[in-house]
Structure 1
Amino acid sequence: MKHRILGKGLEVSALGIGCMPMAGVGKDMYGETDDRESIATIHRAIELGVTFFDTAEVYGPHRNEELLGEAIKGRPDGLVIATKFGFKFDESGFRGTDSSPENVRRACEGCLTRLGIDTIDLFYQHRVDPDVPIEETVGAVAQLIQEGKVRHIGLSEAGPETIRKAAAVHPITALQSEYSLWEREIEEEILPLCRELAIGFVPYSPLGRGFLTGQIASREDLPEGDYRLGDPRYSEENFAKNMEMVEVVKTIAEAHGVSPAQIALAWLLAQGEDIVPIPGTKRRATMEDSMAAANIALGADDLAKLDAAAAMGSTAGTRYREPMMKMVRL
């Protein structure tokens, strides 16, 4: 597995693992899960040289971190574990954002315990909290760095102004935001800003929530209750239009003798050495397929065809429904 460098010299495998589908998010999000297979998937990823694993306090909540903690117990040194804070929840469920210094510390202590580690390698603010100045939040994480409980600070789905304010308080190692062939808006302002400030970029949903894998031919392929049935880009009015880019991905994949998922990930990797995608997975087979993308070199003609098929703004539909759209780019 090749390696890449995020901000502040943080070295990680060129592709990481998004652990979200493995536990705690519910069968209607990513289908049924099997803890044994999820743990076996993490172990196999480590055997393949993957060092970068991404989770979050809110996945479950807590269950996802606990599973990852169980899987990495006794594993070799050199793993980079990323998790996230910034929400509040109780027995009744999700209660909104909270990036107050008090909640940052509470979350950190809990994450360390559940993951079974002494230091969080990369601690992301999961979503910007409009009620707490970013300077206060970053300052709180910087204090945890001084205490040895956190190594690096990350942001997720932050807007340009927030990124600049955060970086003025403490160097930011990575920004995690959605980025893929069907979601390219970050190329306009946010990705250039990250490069100006030497912030690495970690794309989540690099396969368009499964759309870019070529394994979903129609809405009927999704099980009843699947949350993607309510995803604007999977809707009846947008599905066929968005499938046009998938056909181009499939054609290029066939020419290379690889999967469409590998082509979609290889395209992302070709966008810069500071980009480290984290495809979500819960099975060894899909994980192994995705990780093989690190060895694919797309030619200029391939990249031109993909750029033409997936030009910025050409995807039909917003990437989230309205409530979640209000939480990004703040």
Structure 2
Amino acid sequence: MSTGLTTAPAAAGGTLRLGDDLTVNRLGYGAMRLTGPGFWGEPADPDEAVRVVRRAVELGVNFIDTADAYGPFSSDRIIREALHPYADDLVIATKVGLTRPGPDDWRPVGRPEYLRQQTELNLRHLGLETIDLLQLHRIDPAVPLEEQVGELAELRNEGKVRYIGLSEVTVEELEKARAVTPIVSVQNLYNVAERKSEDVLRYAEQHGLVFIPWFPLAMGQLAGPGSPLEAVLEDHDATPAQLALAWLLRHSPALLPIPGTSSVAHLEENVRSTSIQLSDTAYQAVTDAC
């Protein structure tokens, strides 16, 4: 299973604090790809999916991000099969608020009773008594935000949730939610080539929130032959994915990348990114190129 990574290199990227009492290594794992085509149904190779999750933890990954909508529940079941009973330092984050009529079809549903139902199902499928981090997957425009976040706060008060996060929000929406209940994290689309949420990232830094960038490996058209980053890749003996992750780890101490994969080999490639130390010149070259 291993290809030379025998220690816990995920820890080389440093740590950050989630809420008051959870410390995690800054390279996590996103479980969305533990599913079938269109993020629907079971994966083509369930055994490999289990191996990926176990290998991630072996390599020091102690933050795993999933959601009821992945499958639905396919990733939850794989995580449970691979890791239950869970290690004390393992933090499992999940999300509710998107329903799945079919492959590649995602629709927000923020009715409080639905959010509660899906939280209960997450607990059951993951085999948890308490969800470390429950995130509102999307804000449902048909339901007042206060009602959606308020239901998550009620679940926290009942001991079913430890901390609450948001996904795909603006600074204004984040502040509105924080007026209802404490928020410890935000998960927005963010990568070296897509930085529309830079203001949300800076807000997270200023207020002690964790920013979880989804789709962290994207580099646009900047990774091919003749690209302005070709020299940087060669100098660091890095793949484009590794460079994308190394840039995120350098860019902000609030960032917690969660690259996902269904391959052990790709997982190990991603984790090696924590050993890449970008020089000031290389970091600026990547920043300016995108």
| 1:290 aligns with one of 270, 276, 285 | 270
Q: Distance in 1 between matches of 2:132 and 2:112?
A: 19
Matched, 1:192 2:202: yes
Per the alignment, do residues 191 and 290 of structure 1 end up closer, same or farther by CA in structure 2, a change over 3 Å counting?
same
Alignment match, 1:18: 30
| 1:162 aligns with one of 151, 165, 173 | 173
Alignment match, 2:132: 121
Shift of 1:253: 2.1
Alignment match, 2:6: none
Matched, 1:172 2:183: yes
Q: Distance in 2 between matches of 1:137 and 1:59?
A: 20
Q: Distance in 1 between matches of 2:62 and 2:231?
A: 31
Q: Distance in 1 between matches of 2:89 and 2:225?
A: 38
Deviations 1:257-307 (A, max 9, x none): 232211110100111111100001111111111111122211100011111
Deviations 1:67-109 (A, max 9, x none): 1121111342211111110023568995731112111110110
Matched, 1:273 2:271: no
Q: Distance in 1 between matches of 2:103 and 2:231?
A: 47
Alignment match, 1:146: 157
Per the alignment, do residues 179 and 165 of structure 1 end up closer, same or farther by CA in structure 2, a change over 3 Å counting?
same
Which ranges of 4 or more aligned residues in structure 1 deviate by more than 3 Å? 6-10, 88-95, 241-246
CA contact (8 A) 2:133 2:165 kept: yes
Q: Distance in 2 between matches of 1:183 and 1:121?
A: 28
Shift of 1:243: 5.4
Equivalent AA in structure 1 for residue 142 of structure 2: D
Alignment match, 2:85: 74
Partner SS for 2:162: strand
Shift of 1:19: 0.9
Q: Distance in 2 between matches of 1:308 and 1:184?
A: 12
Per the alignment, do residues 301 and 89 of structure 1 end up closer, same or farther by CA in structure 2, a change over 3 Å counting?
closer
RMSD of equivalent CA atoms: 2.4
Alignment match, 2:233: 253
Shift of 1:149: 0.7
Partner SS for 2:164: strand
Q: Distance in 2 between matches of 1:308 and 1:156?
A: 27
Alignment match, 1:221: none
Q: Distance in 1 between matches of 2:153 and 2:286?
A: 40
Per the alignment, do residues 71 and 306 of structure 1 end up closer, same or farther by CA in structure 2, a change over 3 Å counting?
same
Q: Distance in 1 between matches of 2:55 and 2:288?
A: 36
Q: Distance in 2 between matches of 1:126 and 1:193?
A: 19
Matched, 1:205 2:185: no
CA contact (8 A) 1:154 1:175 kept: yes
Alignment match, 1:220: none
Q: Distance in 2 between matches of 1:93 and 1:256?
A: 36
CA contact (8 A) 1:249 1:263 kept: no
Deviations 1:134-155 (A, max 9, x none): 1111111111111111111011
Partner SS for 2:213: strand
Moved more, 243-252 or 97-106: 243-252
Q: Give 5+ residue unaligned stretches, structure 2.
A: 1-10
Equivalent AA in structure 2 for residue 195 of structure 1: E
Shift of 1:186: 1.2
CA contact (8 A) 2:76 2:125 kept: yes
Q: Give 5+ residue unaligned stretches, structure 1.
A: 213-232, 234-240, 311-330
CA contact (8 A) 1:249 1:264 kept: no
Q: Distance in 2 between matches of 1:72 and 1:28?
A: 21
Equivalent AA in structure 1 for residue 173 of structure 2: T
Shift of 1:196: 3.1
TM-score (normalised: structure 2): 0.88
